[in-house]
Amino acid sequence: MSSTPLAGIGVRYDLTTKERRRLSVVAHRDGARTLSAYEEDDPDACALSVRLTAGEAEALIDAMMPAHHNPNLLSTTELGLVAERVELSATAHWNGRLLGDTRMRTETGVSIVAVLRRAEAIPSPKPDFRLAGGDILIVIGTREGVAAAATILARE
């Protein structure tokens, strides 16, 4: 399985089955999922595409694999908070700028609790932390706040 970040949308996961059938799932930031299956003789031609609400996707995931794990969605709580990884592209406006300049907490209400840079984890980055393309920011907040943060960080 491979994954591809989709700026401002979420993450697309692609899988080719043992029977050589191509499937993809787009995990949208709002919790919805789009499941697509492709033609057997033309792996670029979509035969079926179904958009699922967050609840429908959760029910399907639980039916297929009760102990599921989404690598982008780190945790959820009864309070409606999520923790998500958001990658900063090399062409992002914030590449080379200070974390505090994003005004992330003021604008979205989310907290950036860590930055993953190459093989290093920087916990609790301060406002004077300089962002770099390729950084993966661990963002915690409401689903709406995290989506807004991803939009701000995707700005070019």
Residue 77 pLDDT level (bands cut at 50, 70, 90): low
The pLDDT, as a whole number, for residue 72 is 55
Asked whether residue 24 carries a pLDDT value surpassing 50, the answer given is yes
The pLDDT, as a whole number, for residue 68 is 45
Q: Which helix (H) or strand (E) element contains residue 108? A: helix 104-108
CB-based contact 6:14 (threshold 8 Å): no
Mean pLDDT of the chain: 85
SS (H, E, C) 30-74: CCCEEEEEECCCCCCCEEEEEEECHHHHHHHHHHHCCCCCCCCEE
Q: Provide mean pLDDT across the span 123-150.
A: 92
The pLDDT, as a whole number, for residue 75 is 52
The CA-atom distances, in angstroms, between 123 and each of 82, 99, 113 are: 17, 13, 6
Q: Which two tokens stand for residue 150?
A: 């991803």
| Residue ranges covered by each domain of the chain | 2-70, 74-154
Q: Which two tokens stand for residue 49?
A: 């595409």
Among 13-22, 66-75, 118-127, top mean pLDDT goes to 118-127
The pLDDT, as a whole number, for residue 71 is 57
The CA-atom distances, in angstroms, between 33 and each of 3, 48, 64, 89 are: 14, 14, 15, 23
Answer CATH for 74-154 from 3.30.70.1450, 3.90.550.10, 3.10.20.740, 3.40.50.360: 3.30.70.1450
pLDDT tens string 2-20: 888 888 888 888 888 888 8
Asked whether residue 48 carries a pLDDT value surpassing 70, the answer given is yes
CB-based contact 61:54 (threshold 8 Å): no
Q: Provide mean pLDDT across the span 17-30.
A: 86
